[in-house]
Amino acid sequence: MKSSNTLGLSVLLSLALAGVGFVITYFLQPDSAFTFALGIAIGGIAIALLPKRSPVAETFTTKTLYVGNLPYRANEAAVRQLFSEHGRVVSVRLMKDKQTGKRRGFGFVEMPEADAHQAIAQLNEKEFQQRTLKVREANERAARDDGNAEE
């Protein structure tokens, strides 16, 4: 169910549209202006009262894959296309050097678990843009030490 604030705004917008429709129709065909405005108001209120359908949430476990030895000219779209041939790709992140902004030759691809295993089997040691890819399950990121620890 919608919140009362959203519902009130929808009804107000519906009535405003009905008013505009009434004025426009009144000057064109005065005898049907009221019917037109009433139809807009009733339709708008009915639409405002309809429950919103929430999209069906897909739930699946994802795996993050490490992709190494990438060509420096490879972009995220090219890597996404390569991996999407072996399953659904949730995200692609190619790492860049902080100072220069140039790609570092590796990245991460997130895929559903079943697709990830297939992608590893199919793409590890495969040639991509004249480089032999290294594809494996990514290690969990270790907690970063900020260097302020006392010894």
Q: What is the pLDDT along the chain (151 residues), one digit of tens a residue?
A: 445 555 566 667 767 777 776 677 667 776 776 676 667 666 666 666 666 666 655 677 899 999 999 999 999 999 999 999 999 999 999 999 999 989 999 999 999 998 999 999 999 999 999 999 999 999 887 665 555 544 4
What single-letter amino acid sits at 140? E
* Spatial CA neighbour of 105 closest among 66, 139, 142: 66
Q: Write down the pLDDT at residue 19.
A: 72
Alpha carbons 122 and 116: distance in angstroms, whole number:
10
Q: Write down the pLDDT at residue 53.
A: 63
What single-letter amino acid sits at 129? Q
Q: Write down the pLDDT at residue 5.
A: 56
Q: Write down the pLDDT at residue 6.
A: 57
Q: Is the pTM of this model over 0.85?
A: no
Q: Write down the pLDDT at residue 54.
A: 61
* Spatial CA neighbour of 76 closest among 52, 103, 56: 103
Q: Write down the pLDDT at residue 16.
A: 73
Alpha carbons 52 and 111: distance in angstroms, whole number:
30
Residue 125: how many other CB atoms lie within 10 Å: 10
Q: Which residue has the tokens 């108001």?
A: 41
Q: Write down the pLDDT at residue 56.
A: 58
Q: Write down the pLDDT at residue 141.
A: 73
Strand partners, 93: 108
Q: Which residue has the tokens 């009535």?
A: 15
